């Protein structure tokens, strides 16, 4: 389910960035990108920071192993990421 507000409720700066992404990639930006761009101070930046810490922070697993785990889990969940 997509929330209409996340689909089209971005501010001017975010709208311009999303249009630029669409222009250079010749496709609609991914829903996760739209989500991160919607109210970035509330959700986007903290969530991206958390993801960075999880994938790049101290761990017994290498960055490549963590990326592989994420890709495998996404594949099992039929996620496009």
- pLDDT computed for residue 62 by the predictor: 92
- Mind listing the pLDDT tens digit for each residue in 11-48? 899 899 999 999 999 999 988 888 888 888 888 889 88
- Mind listing the pLDDT tens digit for each residue in 55-71? 889 999 998 999 899 88
Mapped to the 3 state alphabet, what secondary structure does the chain carry? CCCHHHHHCCCHHHHHHHHHHHHHHCCCCCHHHHHHHCCHHHHHHHHHHHHHHHHHCCCCCCHHHHHHHHHHHHHHCCCCC
- Give the predicted TM-score (pTM) of the model: 0.60
């Amino acid at each position: 389910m997509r929330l209409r507000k996340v689909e089209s409720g971005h501010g001017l700066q975010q709208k311009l960035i999303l249009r630029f992404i669409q222009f250079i990639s010749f496709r609609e930006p991914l829903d996760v990108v739209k989500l991160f761009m919607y109210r970035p101070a509330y959700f986007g930046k903290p969530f991206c920071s958390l993801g960075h810490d999880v994938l790049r922070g101290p761990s017994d697993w290498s960055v490549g192993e963590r990326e592989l785990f994420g890709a495998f889990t996404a594949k099992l969940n039929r996620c496009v990421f």
